Amino acid sequence: MASTDALSNVTKSLKKFADGFTTGQKAVVLVGIAIVVAIVFVVSSMTSKPTYGVLFTNLSASDAGSITTKLASAGVPYQLADSGSVIEVPQNMVDQERIAMAQAGLPANSTVGLSLLSSVGITTSQITQQADYQAALQGQLEQTIEAINGVQTAQVNLALPPTDVFAVGGNQTPTASVIVTLNNGVTLSSTQVQAIVHLVASAIPNMNAKGVTVVDQNGDVLAAPGQGITGTGSSSATQAYDNTMEASLQSMLDSVLGPNQANVRVSATLNYNQVTTKSQQIPTIKGKPQSALTQSNTQTQTFTGNGTVAGGTLGAVTPVAGNGTKSNYKQSSANNSYAVGQVDQTTVQAPGQVQRLSVAVAVNSKLKGGYSLAKIKNMVAAAAGIVAKRGDTLSVVALPFATQTAAPAAATSPFSSIFSIGKILLLVLGVVGAILLMARSSARTEIEPLFLDAGAPTMALGPGDETQLMPALSMPTAQPIVADDVLDYIDKQPDDVAKLLRIWMGSRGTR
């Protein structure tokens, strides 16, 4: 019974509160409430939208259809991307749904890597075994490359020579090609491309890193035989070199000329090709090749007897004095072998060498102090390492600098964070509350005429005065007249106030 009376009292209070509004005020309140409801709906829809994560990638059409059917039957929201080969679900449900799909045997074609060899039978032909082994290696490498940060999917194609001992040309070198699909806004640095190349080359026997080609989804060649590793990080490395050089030169000029009195720009051309140089040198001593004795051979032969040496032995022969006299024969020979010194040198030039450097310096022409442009140019050339024979250029000019003005503050979105959205809601609610209070207070003010209207009795004045009628004036009865309101009324209707004063003065004079 008490609850019924309380509900009735609340209903009467609300009805009384609503009856205090005019039709226009009620319309304003309804419009304000509608705006608040619309803002709350938009904010709630923006904040309640779930964040989706990748469930599976690189799916076939049959697997994608089976997975989406399973998700739809379980009431799990999902999104399709990349022409249906990628399925996304709410981020907080990714792990749970992967387990559920694995229990259901989905995707059916998910057997990749070395686990593919577990289904190979003993009766499989050698060609089939070779193909399965190659597919297993490709899948295992794809999973390894996809673990790199920024790589969404990877596809590896191997060209392996036949392993048959009777195959012709068994000395062929294996090669590989890799296609990587990167996440939005992600670029691979030269170090990351080099990591992919060496991962593939190290996993395949007898494969050289120079035989690996890496391409991204846009068709840009990141690494190729004969081209080396260029990668998308080459431009970033060049930009980093330019920024470092600019900061160094700018700091030097600011310390000499003062802040904001010079502006430096650097543009460098770097060579990322890795060059290997092999050279051979022979050391010399006073212009003669340096040699060392490696072998010495000496031979001596002596003959004693009558007549000449049998067989006509060559050598220094003592002439025969006469028949029956003695003859002597002696032969000596020496053979020395010398080795000439030789030095083999291999020089590998690291990529990133400066091929050409261009530096431009603008100096404020209004700078006081009598600085010489020639001295500034010499100073900058020494600090930047300008080499004229290399084709480097340096330009130093004096120009009037524009007056610097304060940059306008960056515009931020009112819905950039939940905190800002909450402040907007509080502001709207405050405005609506103020409108309600003002409408309620104005509705309670009752207006009644201050002066008599045309049908009311007239006020008689003294002898000789005319009876005058004053226009009706409405004044609030529930609240006292404020001085500011009176002054405003006097400013707006001075004639009526003058007539009123004359009537009051006349009535006081007749007393």
Q: What is the CATH number of the domain that holds 186?
A: 3.30.300.30
Q: Is residue 138 domain-shared with residue 178, that is, in the same domain?
A: yes
What is the per-residue pLDDT for 266?
A: 93
Residue 511 inside a domain? The answer is: no
Q: Give the pLDDT of residue 329.
A: 66
Domain annotation covers residue 40: yes
- Look at residue 282 in the predicted model and tell me its pLDDT: 73
DSSP for 471-494 reads PP-EEESSSPPPHHHHHHHHHH-H
Stated pTM of the model: 0.38
> Can you tell me the distance from the alpha carbon of 20 to that of 26, in angstroms, rounded to the nearest whole number?
10
Whether 247 maps to a domain, the answer reads yes
Checking phi first, is residue 460 left (phi over 0); if not, alpha (psi -120 to 50) or beta? Answer: beta
Range of the domain at 87: 52-104
75 lies in a domain? Answer: yes
134 with 216, same domain: the answer is yes
The two tokens of residue 275 are 């060059």
Residues 156 and 33 in one domain: no
Residue 366 shares a structural domain with residue 263: yes
What per-residue confidence (pLDDT) applies to 372?
Answer: 86
**DSSP states along 339-387:** EEP-EEEEEEEPS-EEEEEEEEEEEETT--S---HHHHHHHHHHHHT--
Q: Check whether residue 67 and residue 200 sit in a common domain.
A: no
| pLDDT of amino acid 478 | 46
459 within 8 A of 467, measured Cβ to Cβ: yes
Residue 490 lies in a domain: no
- Look at residue 336 and tell me if it is in a domain: no
Based on the fold, state whether residues 179 and 216 are members of the same structural domain: yes
Indicate whether 61 and 98 sit together in one domain: yes
Residues 146 and 64 in one domain: no
Name the token pair of 418: 């939940």
Here the CATH number for the domain that contains residue 86 is 3.30.70
**Residue 424 maps to a domain:** no
φ and ψ at residue 397, rounded to 5 degrees = -130, 155
* Pair (258, 221) in one structural domain: no
Does 195 lie in the same domain as 79?
no
Please state the domain count of the chain. 4
Q: What is the CATH number of the domain that holds 366?
A: 3.30.300
Residues 249 and 205 in one domain: no
Distance CA 136, CA 117 (A): 7
Helix (H) / strand (E) element for 395: namely strand 393-399
Encoding tokens for residue 324?
């029956």
Q: Which pLDDT does position 263 carry in this prediction?
A: 93
Query: Do 156 and 211 fall within a single domain?
Result: yes
List the one residue out of 216, 223, 214, 230 whose CA is nearest residue 186: 216
Tokens matching residue 241: 């070199």
**Which segments of the chain have a pLDDT < 50?**
111, 116, 311, 313-314, 317-318, 320, 407, 409-415, 445-448, 450-462, 464-470, 472-473, 475-481
Residue 307, phi-psi category: left (phi > 0), alpha (psi -120 to 50), beta (remainder)? left
Q: Is residue 484 part of a domain?
A: no
CA distance 36 to 493: 41
